[in-house]
Amino acid sequence: MTYAERLAAVRAGMARQDLAVFLVPRADEHLGEYVPPSAERLAWLTGFTGSAGLAAVFATTAAVWSDGRYVLQLATETDPDLWQRLHITETPPPKFVADQAGEGARVGYDPWLMSEEQLARFAEAGITMVPVAQNPVDLAWQDRPPPPPAPALPYDAAYAGATSDEKRVRVAAILKAEKQDAAVISDPASIAWLLNIRGQDVGFTPLALGFAILHADAGVELFMDPAKLPPETRATLGNAVACAPREALPASLASLCGKRVRLDPVGSPVWFAERLRAAGAKLAPAPDPCLVPKSCKNAVEQQGARRAHLRDAAAMCRFLHWVETAAGHETELSASAKLLQFRAEGALFRGESFPAIAGAGEHGAIMHYRVTPQTDRAILPDELFLIDSGGQYLDGTTDVTRTIWTGPTLPTAEIRERFTRVLKGHIAIARLVFPEGVAGVRLDAFARAALWQVGLDFDHGTGHGVGSYLSVHEGPVSISPYLRPATVMEGMIISNEPGFYLPGAYGIRLENLVLVQRAAFEGAAKKFFYFETLTLAPFDRVLILPALLSSEERAWIDAYHARVLEEVGPHVPEEVRAWLVQACAALPG
């Protein structure tokens, strides 16, 4: 089917349900970032394969949105004759749909694919929102893949640092303290953490798709295809976890009549709220109770993260050494494959934590560029090459970005200046000390101030939470311009990744992961934290303008490079170590 035919088929389905508009978010029934092929409705309909987006199909027109990371990709992947391409913050969908559809228009949505909060934003714009019984995309999508069949396997408490019993009791105590009888958990990452299981239903994140109800007595009902639960997993789950197929979910929700049930209005499909209300349950809207405990890594997870990062650093340093001589005869794809090969040689490696973003030259300006055989491009001499990648290890998840100059001649003063300003932002975040209770939005501008000073900025957040052998993008915390209340807490792992992008020319991004640690101040009136940098790989010295750095910034970079050499040096081949000595030398005076 062509994209025009797909649109026509969806419109036919809309007409049968008397819908003026139908909304197609990039989401599955768990509202997470990675979805199985069977849920790639937005990509099937529009061609856009980014990890965040929304389409609105009108009777004769259609619009598709994404965010700043995907502006260029959205324009490349979708047909302008079929789709109006829009920026999600510049042209908010609720207002756009309300204006285009006109008063009283029936706007259809799939209650499995939108949260209560998303729905409310459309309703607030004065739109009549209609839940569909059958998703018109699913009806039109003839060769839709089946749901993924992979098993859920036990995750050893030697990596998790706590047993599922301990975790269930701990989260149940949160419910009891807030006078809730049960909580719906629709996020498979929360289920994976809570039950110490890992699966392989989606790419790059070891999730087993399913739903759960956690009761205040620490018992769990797990709704997952029984074929996905082999005996060893059932044995590990134990008697406090009752397993049932997904078809049993409506009956279990109905049995919560009269109970206070916690449900995440942002992270869970509105289908649950509609069912629970119909069942006579009292809704307690609150974030997924696993979010915060999962994000605060325990001592075992912290030590695992350090070890995983050291192995990842050895792979990265081997790669950075290798790529020094790649210009002219390697490509974005071959470089990505080489980095994956280096990672795969490390212990406990289980795969990439997301598709590597390997952007040479102008491709570096596409913030979440994904190289394919169609877009692949040679890495040329004398240009910037941006590589953002990460690994899933049994003991931790990594995410690192470096931007290198391919040489052989020197980069321009402009490029060095902009690289150095991005680096100043990175160092400003890395050096922060801050008290307990600080929301990420309060730290974000430190990553930008050096760029702002000369009228530059970057159109993505500074940092996201990272899971422990789980999602590379993990809530609740972020360091971003958004006014989110989640505060930075001890044990969280967060990325520090300022950038600068000149569309059509180049991209710069410098990313380390940091671990939030307690800072000891004698007599301090409250808790203070600092960031322990986990990622170890040199920043390209030829791109740094030392004169732009303060003495504190210079001391930071020299100390960081000395640490990279000391910690990674023993774990790389001799020729890489020799290269590392140069790459980690102190900056010129």
- What x/- string results for residues 546 through 575 when contact with a copy of itself is judged by CB under 8 A? ----xxx-----------------------
> Least distance in Å: CB of 419 to a copy of itself?
19
CA–CA distance, 89 with 66 (Å, rounded to integer): 9
Pick out residues in 401-420 that bind a copy of itself (CB under 8 A).
Answer: none
Residue from 173, 278, 337, 449 binding a copy of itself (CB under 8 A): 449
Per-residue DSSP letters for 49-104?
A: --SS-EEEEESS-EEEEE-GGGHHHHHHHS-TTT-EEEETTTS-HHHHHHHHH-TT
- The reply on whether position 181 binds a copy of itself by CB under 8 A is no
The dihedrals phi and psi of 544, each to the nearest 5 degrees, come to -95, 130
- The reply on whether position 525 binds a copy of itself by CB under 8 A is yes
CA–CA distance, 575 with 25 (Å, rounded to integer): 49
**Nearer of residues 299 and 483 to a copy of itself, judged by Cβ:** 483
Label residue 277 exposed, middle or buried (CB < 10 Å: 0-12, 13-18, 19+).
Answer: exposed
> Least distance in Å: CB of 538 to a copy of itself?
26
CB 137 within 8 A of CB 10: yes
Q: Which stretch binds a copy of itself (CB under 8 A): 20-28, 262-270, 447-455, 532-540?
A: 447-455
Q: What is the DSSP letter of 269?
A: B
- What x/- string results for residues 122 through 161 when contact with a copy of itself is judged by CB under 8 A? ----------------------------------------
CA–CA distance, 514 with 533 (Å, rounded to integer): 4
> Least distance in Å: CB of 97 to a copy of itself?
17
Pick out residues in 419-438 that bind a copy of itself (CB under 8 A).
Answer: 432-435, 438
> Least distance in Å: CB of 20 to a copy of itself?
21
CA–CA distance, 209 with 186 (Å, rounded to integer): 9
The closest alpha carbon to 24, from 47, 2, 5, belongs to 47
The closest alpha carbon to 23, from 97, 103, 123, 91, belongs to 97
Residue from 22, 446, 469, 579 binding a copy of itself (CB under 8 A): 446
Residue from 312, 383, 444, 511 binding a copy of itself (CB under 8 A): 444
- The reply on whether position 88 binds a copy of itself by CB under 8 A is no
> Least distance in Å: CB of 302 to a copy of itself?
22
Q: What is the DSSP letter of 115?
A: B
**Nearer of residues 218 and 415 to a copy of itself, judged by Cβ:** 415
Per-residue DSSP letters for 133-175?
A: SS-HHHHH-TTPPPPP-PPPEE--HHHHSS-HHHHHHHHHHHH
- The reply on whether position 441 binds a copy of itself by CB under 8 A is yes
Residue from 60, 239, 374, 526 binding a copy of itself (CB under 8 A): 526
For residue 149, say if its preceding peptide bond is cis, omega within 30 degrees of 0: no
Question: Rounded to an integer, what is the distance from CA 181 to the centroid of its chain?
Answer: 31
- The reply on whether position 514 binds a copy of itself by CB under 8 A is no
Helix-, strand-, coil-residue percentages of the chain, each rounded to 5: 40, 20, 40
The tokens for 372 are 């394919």
- The reply on whether position 1 binds a copy of itself by CB under 8 A is no
- The reply on whether position 453 binds a copy of itself by CB under 8 A is yes
The tokens for 9 are 């088929």
**Nearer of residues 235 and 454 to a copy of itself, judged by Cβ:** 454
The dihedrals phi and psi of 363, each to the nearest 5 degrees, come to -65, -25
**Nearer of residues 472 and 494 to a copy of itself, judged by Cβ:** 494
> Least distance in Å: CB of 519 to a copy of itself?
7
**Nearer of residues 333 and 456 to a copy of itself, judged by Cβ:** 456
> Least distance in Å: CB of 92 to a copy of itself?
14
The tokens for 63 are 């619009």
> Least distance in Å: CB of 517 to a copy of itself?
14
> Least distance in Å: CB of 477 to a copy of itself?
14
The dihedrals phi and psi of 187, each to the nearest 5 degrees, come to -90, 115
Q: Which stretch binds a copy of itself (CB under 8 A): 114-122, 166-174, 318-326, 453-461?
A: 453-461
> Least distance in Å: CB of 508 to a copy of itself?
16
Residue from 5, 232, 345, 457 binding a copy of itself (CB under 8 A): 457
- The reply on whether position 452 binds a copy of itself by CB under 8 A is yes
Label residue 372 exposed, middle or buried (CB < 10 Å: 0-12, 13-18, 19+).
Answer: exposed
| CA distance readout (Å), 301 to 167, 171, 307, 308 | 14, 18, 10, 10
CA max distance for the chain: 73
Q: Tokens 């060769």 appear where?
A: 143
Residue from 454, 504, 574, 588 binding a copy of itself (CB under 8 A): 454
> Least distance in Å: CB of 564 to a copy of itself?
24
> Least distance in Å: CB of 414 to a copy of itself?
12
Residue from 377, 442, 460, 571 binding a copy of itself (CB under 8 A): 442
Contacts with a copy of itself by CB under 8 A: the residue count is 33
Enumerate the β-bridge partners of residue 456.
Answer: none
The closest alpha carbon to 505, from 306, 364, 356, belongs to 364
CA–CA distance, 15 with 141 (Å, rounded to integer): 16
Strand 241-244 and strand 220-223: the pairing is parallel
Residue from 242, 394, 456, 555 binding a copy of itself (CB under 8 A): 456
Residue from 104, 455, 588, 589 binding a copy of itself (CB under 8 A): 455
**Nearer of residues 266 and 438 to a copy of itself, judged by Cβ:** 438
- What x/- string results for residues 464 through 503 when contact with a copy of itself is judged by CB under 8 A? -----------------x-xxx------------------
CA–CA distance, 438 with 529 (Å, rounded to integer): 10
> Least distance in Å: CB of 459 to a copy of itself?
9
Which residues, other chains included, contact 262 with Cβ-Cβ below 8 Å and sequence gap of 6+?
175, 178, 180, 182, 183, 184, 284, 285, 286, 289
> Least distance in Å: CB of 547 to a copy of itself?
12
> Least distance in Å: CB of 33 to a copy of itself?
24
Which residues, other chains included, contact 171 with Cβ-Cβ below 8 Å and sequence gap of 6+?
183, 194, 214, 218, 289, 290, 293
Binding site for a copy of itself (CB under 8 A): 432-435, 438-439, 441-446, 448-449, 452-457, 481, 483-485, 519, 521, 524-526, 528, 550-552
